[in-house]
A and B are shown apart, each in its own frame.
Chain A
Amino acid sequence: MSIVFVLIPVSLVLVGFGVWAFFWAVRTGQFDELDAAAWEILLDDPADPAVKGPQRKPYHKP
């Protein structure tokens, strides 16, 4: 049973991290507007030339 002496502090550290992450999210305004986020997914990002990696290409063109 002595493992709880280690596991519980570990879990508390994780909880502390969770609380910190939530506070950070609140502080940066992520809970201020819950409306637009749902719509943003429908809008495609234009391919950003500054971003490295495969570019979006229309598939119907060869």
Chain B
Amino acid sequence: MPEVPTTCFHCGESLAGRRLAWARLHDSDVAVCCQGCKAAAEMLALCGLEEFYRFRSAPSVKPQEPSAEWLLYDDPVLLDGLTRVEPNGRSAVLLIDGLTCAACSWLIGRSLQQIDGVVHASVNTATGRARVVWDGRKVAFSRLLRLIADLGYRPHIATVDAAYEQARAERRAILKRLAASGLGMMQVMMFAVAMYAGDMQGMDQTIRDYLRAVSMLVATPVMLYGGWPFFAGAYNAWRVRSITMDVPVALGLALAYGASVFNTWRHAGDVYFDSVTMFIFFLTVARFVEMTARHQSTSVTDSLSRTLPATAHRLNRRGDEESNGEDSVSDVLVAELGIGDRLWVRAGEIVPADGDLIHGCTRIDESMLTGEPLPVARGPGERLAAGTLNVAAPVQMRVAATGASTVLAGIVALLSRAQAERPRIAREADRRSSRFLARVLCGAVLVCGVWLIIDPSRAFAATLAVLVVACPCAFSLATLVAVAAANAALARRGVLVSHQDAIEGLAKVTRVVFDKTGTLTQGTVSVTGCTLAGALSETDCLGIAAALEAASEHPIARAFGRLQSAARPANDVQVVPGAGLQGTVGGARYRIGTPAFVLGGLPGAAANGPLHDDGAIVLGTDGGELARFTVGDSPRPDSARAVAALRSLGLGVEILSGDARGAVELVAEHCGISRFAARQSPGDKLRRMQALTAQGEFVAMVGDGMNDAPVLGGAGVSIAMGRGSALTLATADLILVGDSLAALPAAVALARRAKSIMRQNLLWAAGYNLTAMPLAALGWVPPWLAAIGMSLSSIVVVLNSLRLMRADAPTGRPRLPAVPTPPMLAKSRLEGSLP
């Protein structure tokens, strides 16, 4: 007999209490939870794409109902606004929701390419974007969008894509410069080695001149193409009368190149083409490293700005029939919405604009904005924010703000601003190096003057050497590369850095404060206890509860589903929002929910227990209470170990929680934390934070969402658990993506190492410049040696920083969401959630 699977083959949802559907793949039938998943799985098999299931890292998104909204996009006016006309068709960039791994992008790309009329389709996993080029005469745009939606992903059309295009263009340009100057440098070096050998052993004049001419031939494009950014930068700095790193670089390059060309032409003197090309190449490498670090964090903003749907259902009152209140619904673009429009927001849809609820009651998942995992109830007159998810019932709303004036848009703007800033420590290095640069330029002039008096023939070489040797490249790279390397190493451990000063702060931390009990606990509700009051056994009670709760999406309901699969399906289940459920299981009528709901109308109900008990869920019949369940949160499996590890790093640990004393005590005891405070308001927490700071402590605050923003802001370093919400990124310096505390002590240790490496780097760079400068001024350093010295000092700094990356990866699975999880791990994770 075949084993009956417990979860849907496609979306991974529990099959308990559902009518199974079977999807036919090539050689087997698989169980799925609904017709949508069946269609998706069969479509994949039909296209020969079922391998997707072997390589995906997370269960797929449940496909949405087929909708006519995509047809909107075939409107020619709209199409012109959203897409670009290319020689072989039209092209559009789509942001795709639900893209979790390379298997997803492969699937979408492949499926699109199989459509006749699609010229090109490529999907980028890292940025969640797809670029499609199609022939408008052969296939409609709506068909492509429908296809992606049918696969279970949600496409959005990227209208404003300037930032992304700019980043891509920048990366491409710098890669080309890197290759051109790198290859050019190798050639020139080869000739230079021959010429140095010739200097020592003697070389035919003709060959020497030939090699020089060839060096010039190669160095000229490198100089003009690879060196262009430095000249442009120096020109810009000169225009505003300031000194940047580009100024001595450009000056040195121009002098060295000019003199070399001149000497090549007059067949005498020295040439410095090797120094010039090498200089350009290494500086470009430095720029590339810096750019990569800068681009790393932009994908976060993307995911936020793509939350909004592209279309909304607008209600239009029919002219004369106002009396009977008949509305017609039309799908319009969100961009076309105006203030005062009435919208229809179905259950499961995202609220497209800020506005007030005017009709209906529902629950809204605001985790995007507040980090609060439980949906909140909203009734008429209450505010709905764009980007939040309507989870319960269809409602009507009146638009109050759209587009750039919504709360969501404000957050995105905030995030982009945070990303644009440079780390304080790097700014400091910049400021110091700018002062240093001014002195270098004066020094070079001075050296030139003095040498002109002593020995004019050596003046040029000495001045050039001073300019090149003293370039504080290593100085400015010292912190930047270390920060970038630490960012990357932390990301591998599942810690994302959203604020550039975070690493420096993390290294200074002396005390870790857990702001919420939820950071030490799993954050999901689970059934923790059961008190029987009737004749039924615990297993029976749980079975009935699971059957009833299978009809609900509420987090508490899921807790029952995880604990036990329903023995018998429930019929006629009715959801009473905010109270509970009632339905028939095995012929008998049951109610489950708050004590007031289940027992409210019954005689002698109070004798069984209090009617108002927040933590209790009661299962009962008309005859009375059967069982009382307590639901709560259990500690994370690794929190005790993480706390111990933090202690061993010499850090103090404490809890400041808003929860009741009992719950906090339990968690504190489990984790071995002796210092804790319960029932703390944000004000209390902030005061404690200030008191700690006054005692000279540097506090790291671990929270879980936006609602603790003021407290997180008061801490030296704020850390958010990744499951909270995307918004925590706006306030927290660091995000633990892996949803595991084990990464925290590792991150602190890494930050400390990063800090000490930065110190070494700065020391080395300063030491190098201070020793090499006088030697160069004395004329003991020829320009080629100066270029090598300068480059070597930068390379030493970069290599030293890269030691941070080489640190052994933590045990366990990779924690980055973008990293595909091998299928076996994905499977065991699914199984792990079932007892």
**Residues of chain A whose beta carbon lies under 8 Å from any beta carbon of chain B:** 1, 4-5, 8, 11-12, 15, 18-19, 22-23, 26-27, 29, 31-33, 35-36, 38-40, 42-44, 46
Contact = CB atoms under 8 A, between A and B. Distances in A.
B768 interface: no
Contact of B106 (A11, A12, A43): A43
Q: What are the 4 A-B residue pairs with the smallest beta carbon separation, nearest first?
A: A39-B102, A46-B48, A22-B179, A33-B124
A31 B122 CA distance: 13
Contacts, number: 68
A29 B103 contact: no
A26 B169 CA distance: 10
Given A1-B204, A8-B214, A26-B176, A35 B183 contact: no
A29 B122 contact: yes
A16 to B, nearest CB: 9
Nearest to B172: A26
A20 B833 CA distance: 53
23 contacts: A1-B207, A8-B210, A18-B183, A19-B179, A19-B180, A26-B172, A26-B175, A26-B179, A27-B172, A31-B175, A32-B168, A32-B171, A32-B172, A33-B122, A33-B126, A35-B126, A36-B105, A36-B124, A38-B102, A39-B106, A40-B102, A44-B51, A46-B48
Contacts of A22: 176, 179, 183
B218 interface: yes
A59 B124 CA distance: 34
Nearest to B218: A12
A58 B172 CA distance: 43
A11 B211 CA distance: 13
Contact of A5 (B123, B184, B191, B210): B210
B764 interface: no
Which applies to chain B's interface (DSSP): helix, strand, loop or mixed? helix
Contacts of B187: 11-12, 15
Given A26-B172, A39-B55, A42-B55, 14 more contacts: A8-B214, A12-B214, A12-B218, A19-B180, A26-B179, A31-B171, A33-B125, A36-B102, A36-B105, A39-B106, A39-B820, A43-B51, A43-B55, A43-B103
A43 B217 CA distance: 46
A5 B204 CA distance: 13
B393 interface: no
Interface string B84-103: 00000000000000000011
A23 B180 CA distance: 9
A40 B820 CA distance: 12
Of A4, A35, A44, the most chain B CB neighbours within 10 A belong to: A35
A44 B113 CA distance: 16
Contact of B124 (A32, A39, A44): A32
A61 to B, nearest CB: 12
Interface residues of B, number: 31
A47 to B, nearest CB: 9
B347 interface: no
Contacts of B48: 46
A19 B183 contact: yes
Contacts of A5: 210
B818 interface: yes
Contacts of B125: 33, 35-36
A38 B217 CA distance: 39
A15 B818 CA distance: 37
A18 B98 CA distance: 39
A9 to B, nearest CB: 8
Contact of A4 (B124, B210, B217): B210
A18 to B, nearest CB: 6
A44 B103 CA distance: 12
Contacts of A11: 187
A31 B207 CA distance: 40
Contacts of B122: 29, 33
A32 B122 CA distance: 11
Contacts of B124: 32-33, 36
Contacts of A40: 102, 106
Contacts of B179: 19, 22-23, 26
A35 B187 CA distance: 32
A5 B818 CA distance: 53
A23 to B, nearest CB: 6
Contacts of B183: 15, 18-19, 22
A1 B217 CA distance: 20
B813 to A, nearest CB: 16
Interface in B203-236: 204, 207, 210, 214, 217-218
Nearest to A4: B207
Contacts of B207: 1, 4
Nearest to B102: A39
A8 to B, nearest CB: 6
A23 B176 contact: yes
B73 to A, nearest CB: 25
A26 B281 CA distance: 18
B221 to A, nearest CB: 9
Contacts of B105: 36
Nearest to B122: A29
A38 B126 CA distance: 13
Nearest to B180: A19
A38 B820 CA distance: 11
Contacts of A46: 48
Give the residue among A4, A18, A38 with the most B Cβ atoms within 10 A: A4
Contacts of B168: 32
A19 B179 CA distance: 7
Given A31-B172, A43-B51, A46-B48, A36 B106 contact: yes
